[in-house]
């Protein structure tokens, strides 16, 4: 069964520093597709060298809350707990992008085209990774 957080347009994705301090980032998130994770998992795409990836590799605990595009969370927004792992294989990243594309449609496709154009001309951008989130305690 898919959790209601999967329907949110934007989700505040929280990871934790070594000190335990939470760090939240707004993301587009979608239900996974067959071949990546388990039924009910959620996924999103990020750059492989981001701090959230580094924090996840050390501590897989995460929290999700519905938010707006700027990451602002409503005071009454429910907190959803889970764990996450980093998917780095080319097929895993493709499946993650497919899941996001299935949910966000033309908006994501336009974003992906613009991103490819930018990455082609700007050095310093890392490869992509998929983040797979399993909801639960």
- pTM for this predicted structure: 0.86
CATH number of the domain enclosing 11:
2.30.110.10
**Contact, 81 vs 136, CB < 8 A?**
yes
Where in the sequence is the domain holding 49, given as residue range(s)? Answer: 4-135
**Contact, 28 vs 109, CB < 8 A?**
no
Give the number of C-alpha atoms closer than 13 A to the C-alpha of residue 127, restricted to the C-beta side.
10
In the chain, the number of structural domains is 1
Distance separating alpha carbons of residues 132 and 2, to the nearest angstrom = 14
For residue 23, pLDDT over 50 is answered with yes
**Per-residue model confidence as pLDDT tens digits over 95-131:** 999 999 999 886 667 666 666 666 666 665 668 899 9
Rounded to a whole number of angstroms, the distance between the first and last alpha carbons of the chain is 16
**What pLDDT is stored for residue 109 in this prediction?**
73
Torsion of CA 98, 99, 100, 103, to 10 degrees: 120
């Amino acid at each position: 069964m898919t959790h209601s957080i999967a329907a949110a347009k934007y989700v505040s994705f929280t990871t934790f520093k070594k000190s335990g301090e939470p760090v939240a980032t707004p993301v587009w998130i979608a239900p996974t597709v067959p071949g990546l994770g388990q039924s009910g998992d959620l996924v999103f795409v990020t750059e492989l060298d981001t701090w959230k990836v580094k924090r996840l590799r050390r501590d897989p605990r995460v929290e999700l809350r519905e938010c707006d595009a700027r990451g602002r969370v409503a005071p009454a927004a429910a907190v959803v707990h889970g764990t996450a792992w980093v998917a780095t294989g080319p097929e895993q990243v493709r499946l993650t992008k497919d899941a996001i594309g299935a949910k966000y449609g033309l908006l994501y496709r336009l974003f992906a085209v613009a991103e490819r154009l930018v990455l082609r001309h700007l050095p310093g951008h890392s490869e992509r990774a998929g983040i797979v989130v399993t909801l639960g305690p």
